[in-house]
Amino acid sequence: MELGSQIKKYRNELSLSQDALADKVYVSRQTISNWENDKSYPDVNSLVLLSEVFHTSIDNLIKGDVEIMKQEVRSEDKKAFEKLSQVFAVMLFVAVVTPIPLTHFLGYIGMAIWGVFMAATIYVSFIVEKKKKQFDVQTYREIIAFMEGTGLDEIAKAREEGKRPYQKILLGVAVGIITFVIAAVFFMVL
């Protein structure tokens, strides 16, 4: 990716420190450092702000990165990520529906089995989130859409829709915990 070197070049041309640039684009100094060192990629809104600060177009700022992003979005790693996401969804579903049957038929052993399975589900969720951040999939899709003429309002709407599955996952985890508590109370009463 060339964006990191472009940000550093333009920042140095304007004699801006990372702190000063961070203030202008409403991010932390660490975020600027991460962008310059290609550890992360700015979202579309940050790219727009960077292009305004640097008085250049987004095209000049990201140069050949769009083609690289398109390749990243299509790569085999994304397929593995999608499979892992599907495995997580199935694990979460199983974690939500199994605590009562397990505790009813197996008692404390069933609760222990469910607890281990729930811990494995949470671990897989962390792996999924790590992979998502590693690939910057959502950010790349937003930038490609922007470069192809999609408006920022539409991109923001898509970003909010993209957050909803994770909100549903958190809701599912909460339901699982509540189910477990109810099953434990039910088991103790009987």
Domain boundary among 63, 80, 112: 63
147 and 73 both lie in a single domain: yes
Q: Which CATH number belongs to the domain containing residue 20 in this structure?
A: 1.10.260.40
Domain containing 166: what range?
Answer: 68-189
Per-residue confidence (pLDDT) for residue 183, from 0 to 100: 74
Alpha carbons 126 and 133: distance in angstroms, whole number:
11
Domain boundary among 32, 63, 94: 63
Residues contacting residue 189 through CB under 8 Å, at least 6 positions apart: none
49 and 105 both lie in a single domain: no
Q: Count the domains in the chain.
A: 2
* 3-state secondary structure (DSSP) of residue 34: helix
36 and 92 both lie in a single domain: no
Residues contacting residue 90 through CB under 8 Å, at least 6 positions apart: none
Strands (E) across 134-177 are located at none
132 and 168 both lie in a single domain: yes
76 and 154 both lie in a single domain: yes
Per-residue pLDDT of the chain (190 residues; tens, 9 = 90+): 578 888 999 999 999 999 999 999 999 999 999 999 988 888 888 888 898 999 988 877 876 666 666 666 566 667 777 888 889 889 988 888 888 888 888 988 988 998 899 889 888 888 887 777 665 556 666 676 666 666 655 655 555 555 555 666 777 778 778 877 877 777 776 6
Per-residue confidence (pLDDT) for residue 72, from 0 to 100: 63
Per-residue confidence (pLDDT) for residue 142, from 0 to 100: 67
49 and 121 both lie in a single domain: no
Question: Nearest CA to 49 among 25, 31, 14, 75?
Answer: 25
SS (H, E, C) the chain: CCHHHHHHHHHHHCCCCHHHHHHHHCCCHHHHHHHHCCCCCCCHHHHHHHHHHHCCCHHHHHCCHHHHHHHHHHCHHHHHHHHHHHHHHHHHHHHHHCHHHHHHHHCHHHHHHHHHHHHHHHHHHHHHHHHHHHHCHHHHHHHHHHHCCCCHHHHHHHHHHHHHHHHHHHHHHHHHHHHHHHHHHHHHHC
Residues contacting residue 137 through CB under 8 Å, at least 6 positions apart: 72, 73, 78, 81
51 and 117 both lie in a single domain: no
168 and 87 both lie in a single domain: yes
Alpha carbons 139 and 141: distance in angstroms, whole number:
5
Per-residue confidence (pLDDT) for residue 101, from 0 to 100: 86
